[in-house]
Amino acid sequence: MLNFTVGPVHSTESVRAIGAQDVPYFRTPEFSEVMLENERLMKKFAKAADDARALFITGSGSASMEASVMNVFTKDDHLLVINGGSFGHRFVEICQIHDIPYTEIVPAFGKGVTSEDLAPFDGDSRYTGLLVNVDETSMGILYDLDLLSAFCQKNDLIFVVDAISSFLCDPIHMADAHIDVLLTGSQKALACPPGVSIMVLSKRAVDRIYAHEVKSLYFNLQSALDNGARGQTPFTPAVGILLQIHQRLLDIEKAGGVEAEIERVAHQAEDFRSKIKGLPFEVVSGSLPNAVTPLMPTTIKATDLFQILKDEYHIWVCPNGGEYAEKIFRVGHIGNLTPADNDTLIAAFNDLKKRGLI
């Protein structure tokens, strides 16, 4: 199968080779070294300040979304949540479950957040934090990080950025943007199996975590930070995936670092977007991220197109859930894909056109 979803995605040969081996015992100085290097490289690629910390949570991206909100905020906070799709909605659900007061900001369909969207909340000292999925992957919208960052600085808000599908795809400078919590996951552009999510935390976020006692055993980040300082985790982590992440981070470093990787993904996206002209699809986002292109087919249901590509062409594109399931599908540009793979997908689209199916 050729995989154009947004995760899990194709891994490189060096990452897959680790998956074929036995998983080693991990309470050892050798594994601690790997973890400390993972933390160092994550901080480097996120462009975090020296006093930032990185935590590796065994669980998918949503685990880090929930753990960060639970540990960094309390009932005394009031959060602004950018809700432009299913991942924004997930932050809303997390606030509801943990009784953290919040107000939603819902951008217009297919649009990013504007300064007009933020204006009603500007200068209101009730608000203490802002949560955003910088690439709202469900709709393929990249929000304006500079705008949000300036707003958070002006209003002294704790800035939580779910960059789960944006890390390694779009430029992010954690320290310059004054981001307090930056999240990513193993199965997106890190192109490893699912099962680990990563949080990079500013000093301010770490201080907040230590300032209150969270009611959770597994998601107690005080304990994760204490253990992480010596390259360990409170419980058995997904050891094999952490070794794969290590390999992947080293490979990126060797191939020119985070800038070169972002450039590679951006080129993969541009190449695809230049080749779909003339096909009966509408690009539905006014602010495209590099990780994914959301498309509305004008002549076929998106769900039918997904099915035919899967069963007859052995290609996975990414279907949408919820209210846009039949209208929108997405093509991912992350993982070990090349422009030649784009050509294979475009050839399938052209064949469908010839058959009169699109």
Ligand X SMILES: *Cc1c(COP(=O)(O)O)cnc(C)c1O
Q: List residues near ligand X by CB under 6 A.
A: 7, 60-62, 87, 133, 135, 137, 162, 164-165, 185, 188
Question: 49 CB contacts (<8 Å, ≥6 apart)?
Answer: 174, 175, 202, 203
Q: Shortest approach of ligand X to residue 138 CB, angstroms?
A: 8
60 versus 216: smaller Cβ distance to ligand X: 60
133 versus 342: smaller Cβ distance to ligand X: 133
Q: Shortest approach of ligand X to residue 61 CB, angstroms?
A: 3
Q: What is the token pair recorded at 154?
A: 């002006």
161 versus 258: smaller Cβ distance to ligand X: 161
Q: What's the half-sphere exposure (Cβ side, CA atoms, 13 Å) at 213?
A: 2
60 versus 227: smaller Cβ distance to ligand X: 60
Q: What is the token pair recorded at 190?
A: 């890190």
Q: Shortest approach of ligand X to residue 183 CB, angstroms?
A: 7
70 versus 348: smaller Cβ distance to ligand X: 70
CB-based contact 281:297 (threshold 8 Å): yes
Q: Which helix (H) or strand (E) holds 57?
A: strand 53-58
Q: Shortest approach of ligand X to residue 188 CB, angstroms?
A: 6
Q: Shortest approach of ligand X to residue 144 CB, angstroms?
A: 16
257 versus 321: smaller Cβ distance to ligand X: 321
**Length reported for the chain:** 358
The b-or-e profile of 87-110 (16+ CB within 10 A means b, else e) is bbbbbbebbeebebebbbbebeeb
Give the count of beta carbons closer than 10 Å to the beta carbon of residue 154.
11
Q: Shortest approach of ligand X to residue 7 CB, angstroms?
A: 6
- Report the C-alpha gap between 151 and 149 in whole angstroms: 5
**Residue at shortest CB range from ligand X:** 61
What single-letter amino acid sits at 1? M
CA dihedral of residues 289, 45, 256, 264 (deg, nearest 10): -10
Question: 250 CB contacts (<8 Å, ≥6 apart)?
Answer: 37, 41
